[in-house]
Structure 1
Amino acid sequence: MASESGTESGSLLIDGIQLLVPQPCFDKFFVEFNFFYVPCLKLVLSKGLGYAIILGSMLVKIPQIVKLVQAKSGEGISMSGIVLELVAISANTAYGFGHSFPFSTYGEGLFLAFQTSLVGLLVLVFGGNAIGGIGFMVIYSAIMAFLMSPLTPMALLATLQSLTIVMILLSKSIQGLANYRNGSTGQLSAITVFLLFFGAIARIFTSMQETGDSLVIATYVASTIANGCLATQMLYYWNADKPHIKKE
């Protein structure tokens, strides 16, 4: 029994290591002891970054959610921008899932989709439209379930992924324009904006290493540019008091 337990534990440990060091790199490192094989070093770095992004994505929009709840207001946050961002996240996640890409390349989309939809719900609820918020969550959940199901044609996923670049740029542009008009970033969370920016940069590298898919790579390039613009606004409006500055 003890030997069986030890064998099982060893097998679990090997499986865990292979999440970060898949074959044939596992053999390169731990059988041939070739720890400086560059292609495998790049792959392991990509895997590590990918899983770190996924772990970070579980919390990336929590500061935004907390800020909304504390203020009991969605002031300064564009609902149309949220919807476009949510469509982009969902399309990108469904595309990666449908193409059986490694989970480390798209897994954060599941957590970002949930948190972004929750932000949308709070904006609607605090805007006095609780019924609309519930309807929004129900409709979105149904759409996401369809996109992740075998019923969705791959051609549709490819089309949505192509449109994702436009949706990302448009959604962030809408939010950026709202910031400019308000002379403030309102209830936007600086932590969330900067985490999304740096996460998008890292995703360019992981997508190049693990998928080689030009659509996915272009999506994260667009996301980096768009989130970088919002991050720049965050710095520019850092000390701006919200709407009353304009009134004065």
Structure 2
Amino acid sequence: MAAHTDRLLKRVLVPILLPEKCYDQLFVQWDLLHVPCLKILLSKGLGLGIVAGSLLVKLPQVFKILGAKSAEGLSLQSVMLELVALTGTVVYSITNNFPFSSWGEALFLMLQTVTICFLIMHFRGQTVKGVAFLACYVLSLLVLLSSLTPLTIVTLLQASNVPAVVVGKLLQAATNYSNGHTGQLSAITVFLLFGGSLTRIFTSIQETGDPLMAGVFVVSSLCNGLIAAQVLFYWNTKPPHKQKKEQ
């Protein structure tokens, strides 16, 4: 019975959460304070948790736009720059064969961000433009992932994430400040992005050792923190047209 349980546990943990040597260290030798293996376990667990959570991170934003039939308060330029950053991370990670647990959420966030871009255009009466944008984006992504794109270009794209994230978030922050409210910006999405980017600093260092990846998440955390602070600051402020309806 014990042997069966051990085999089952090993099948679950290896290699998804632990390399075999760490499994033996922790669960065969019972060295539960083995720091390097504990770091791997923590990093893998957090990484997979973020990837799983990313399936839902931007859905509140999507549903909020659909429910209101409006994208008021959302900066299209900001969302597009975020899409550039996410695309860069996905392409860079696939090209470098990084573990999926270290970047997988970028893939799901990318798909959700593309959807938000289209919805913003659609509710601004630019549906045809939105469809054309989707087609161009898919084509560009395929080219970036193909052998036609040299590694130097992929690395440059990832390096451009820092200015893309900073400018994108500052544009959204400026929109919030100018409007005096956060409009249809989803607080749930904002706070989840902030928490996820903070956690990714540790997991990217642990799993990839890539300073470029870690640097992007440091900058992303600072910028997401700014937007989160604005959400809290404008928490009780409603868009003017809603206030008029209530009067």
TM norm structure 1: 0.91
Which position in structure 1 is the counterpart of 2:65?
68
Structure 2 match to 1:3: none
Separation in structure 1 between the aligned mates of residue 80 and residue 128 of structure 2, nearest angstrom:
17
| Residue aligning to 1:4 | none
Contact preservation (8 Å) 1:183, 1:243: no
Residue 244 of structure 1, CA deviation? 4.5
Match of 2:180 in 1: 183
**Corresponding position of 1:29:** 26
Give the deviation of 1:96 after TM superposition. 1.1
**Structure 1 counterpart SS, 2:20:** coil
Match of 2:125 in 1: 128
Matched, 1:220 2:217: yes
Task: Judge which range, 57-66 or 28-37, deviates more.
Answer: 28-37
- For 2:86, the equivalent position in structure 1 comes to 89
CA distance in 2, matches of 1:84, 1:147: 17
Displacement after TM superposition at 1:172 (Å): 0.4
After TM superposition, the structure 1 stretch with the greater mean CA deviation from structure 2, 90-99 or 174-183, is: 90-99
Q: CA deviation at 1:36?
A: 1.6
- Displacement of 1:210 in angstroms is 0.9
- SS of 2:74's equivalent in the other structure is coil
Q: Which amino acid aligns with 1:195?
A: L
SS in 2 for 1:58: helix
Q: CA RMSD in A?
A: 2.0
CA distance in 2, matches of 1:168, 1:178: 15
1:13 Cα deviation after fit? 6.0
Summarize the Cα distance change of 1:25–1:12 in structure 2 as closer, same or farther, 3 Å threshold: closer
Find the counterpart in structure 1 of residue 229 from structure 2: 232
Q: Deviations over 1:19-42 (max 9, x none)?
A: 011233122223333222101101
Distance 1:194 1:22, change over 3 A: same
Partner of 1:148: 145
Residue in 1 that maps onto 2:76: 79
* TM-score of the pair, normalised by structure 2: 0.92
CA distance in 2, matches of 1:101, 1:32: 29
Task: State the match for 2:196 in structure 1.
Answer: 199
CA shift at 1:12, angstroms? Answer: 10
The answer to whether the Cα contact below 8 Å between 1:168 and 1:226 also exists between their aligned partners in 2 is: yes
From 45, 54, 57, the counterpart of 2:54: 57
SS at match of 1:135: helix
Measure how far apart 1:49 and its partner are: 0.4
Rounded Cα–Cα distance in structure 2 between residues aligned with 1:116 and 1:244: 27
Render the CA deviation track for 1:129-149: whole Å, top value 9, x for unaligned.
110111111111111222223
For 1:6-21, list aligned pairs within 5 A.
14=11, 17-21=14-18
Q: Is the 8 A contact 1:88 1:164 kept in 2?
A: yes
Give the percent of matched residue pairs that are identical in Structure 1 and Structure 2.
45
* Structure 1: segments with no counterpart, 5+ residues: 1-6
How many residues align? The count is 240
Rate the CA distance shift 1:189–1:58 in 2: closer, same or farther, 3 A: same
Q: Which amino acid letter does the alignment assign opposite residue 132 of structure 2?
A: G
CA deviations on 1:170-209 (whole Å, 9 max, x unpaired) are 0000000000000000110000000000000000000111
